Amino acid sequence: MKKVILGKKLTIEEFMAVVRFHAEVDFSNEYRQRVEKSRKIVETCVEEERVVYGTTTGFGALVTKTIGKEDAEKLQRNIILTHSTSVGEPFKEEEVRAIILMVLQSLGMGVSGVRMELLERYRDFLNKDLIPYTPREGSVGYLCAEGHIAAALIGEGRAYYRGELSDSKTALHRAGMESFVLSYKEGLALLNGTSSPTALAAVAVYDLLKAVESADLVAAMSFEMLGGLLRAYDERVLNCRPQKELLETADIIKRMLHGSQDCIKYDNGDDYNRAFHIAAYHGYKGGNDQDYHQKVTELLNKYLKGAFALTLLKDIFSVLSQPLPGFLTGQPLFRHMEMFQ
């Protein structure tokens, strides 16, 4: 896959094509139109001096403080710096790429009010292999990873360019970019939401699903080499315990071994205890309730196409100007991810 176009549903396969296999990223016309429309709402609110959280006001307890145009850039820059507080070993390159892509997917829903130029810069991070140095230990509502990534955007912190670590300004220069100056709401938009936990969950789920596929292949190869009996997968036997996952696993193994001369030979023998443990693979794997795989994948797909923001902008007459804590929690996803441990 050479290029992934953002703007519609993003599958986990497309997500990983960018994150792990370095497919290029670009934006659809619909994506651009949504972003530009929401940005006009921000500009109108500023021009009309409307009260919008984190845009024309301070953050948190300072929501009652009005922010003038002369302090807008400083406010957005400062929220990035105050959240860039993680320590310890950095996230892996693909984990940082995953977070950047998740930010692009979320802000591209067109309800966050950022400029298209900002998202183009994050896209360039991915396409030019510029990876912000992002320590993994520490949390301000799990926003620190986003903070370190955004810090590189504004020329602060450190970053890798094509594998070489330097200060961010140097890395940006080598990549043919300059430090970006944030405007109204953009610092807040880059930080808030559940981008990092969703991104990391996507990588974990993808690897789990691939591991399950590999387990089936290894089981089939072992079955054939050790002389497993396909008679164990007779429909009359399987239907005595008609569990969906067990039947699906048995079907996978039978399809992989269809036509195997070794398996046919063993089945025609009289050693009923031959490779008993491998013949029971469908019971070991499929006998367990695997519905949570599907449940987590379905929930993750919802997160992959969602927007997470403190202040959502739909149109000039319905600016949701107060924080919405329900959009800031990844708890439903976390609860399901715990099943993978």
CATH of the domain at 25: 1.10.275.10
Residue 336 included in any domain: no
Q: Are residues 249 and 316 in the same domain?
A: no
| CB contact at 8 A, 238 and 283 | no
Distance in angstroms (rounded) separating the CA atoms of residues 141 and 130: 25
Give the number of domains in the chain: 2
Residues 147 and 253 both lie in one domain: no
Q: d(Cα 283, Cα 277) in Å, to the nearest integer?
A: 10
The pLDDT of residue 90 is 97
pLDDT score at 316: 47
Chain-centroid distance of CA 146 in Å reads 13
| Claim to verify: residue 47 and residue 169 sit in the same structural domain | yes
Identify the weakest region by mean pLDDT among 138-147, 197-206, 301-310.
301-310
Q: Is residue 143 part of a domain?
A: yes
- Rounded mean pLDDT, 172-185: 96
Q: Say if residue 10 is in the same domain as residue 80.
A: yes
Residue with tokens 């193994």: 253
Whether 200 is in a domain gets the answer: no
In a shared domain, residues 139 and 265: no
Question: Is 302 a member of any domain?
Answer: no
pLDDT at 326: 45
Q: In terms of domains, do 109 and 17 share one?
A: yes
Q: What are the C-alpha distances in Å from 180 to residues 150, 166, 247, 278, 305?
A: 10, 17, 55, 58, 26
Residue 199 lies in a domain: no
Please write the tens of the pLDDT for every residue from 228-249.
777 778 888 778 877 777 888 8
36 and 134 share one domain: yes
Q: Are residues 187 and 63 in the same domain?
A: yes
Torsion of CA 129, 134, 140, 143, to 10 degrees: 10
For residues 222 and 145, state if they share a domain: no
pLDDT tens profile 28-83:
999 999 999 999 999 998 888 888 888 889 988 888 898 888 898 999 999 999 99
Whole-angstrom Cα distance, residue 322 to residue 332?
Answer: 23
One domain, residues 314 and 287: no
List, in order, residues 6 or more apart from 298 with CB less than 8 Å away.
Answer: none
| Residue 174 · residue 63 · CB < 8 Å | no
Residue-range definition of the domain harbouring residue 320: 3-194+308-328
Average pLDDT for 96-115: 94
Looking at the domain assignment, is residue 202 inside a domain?
Answer: no
What is the pLDDT, as a whole number, of residue 307? 54
State which amino acid sits at residue 280. Answer: A
- Cβ distance 84 to 147 under 8 Å? yes
Give the pTM: 0.85
Let me know if residue 315 belongs to a domain.
yes
Measured in degrees and rounded to the nearest 5, phi and psi for residue 26 equal -145, 175
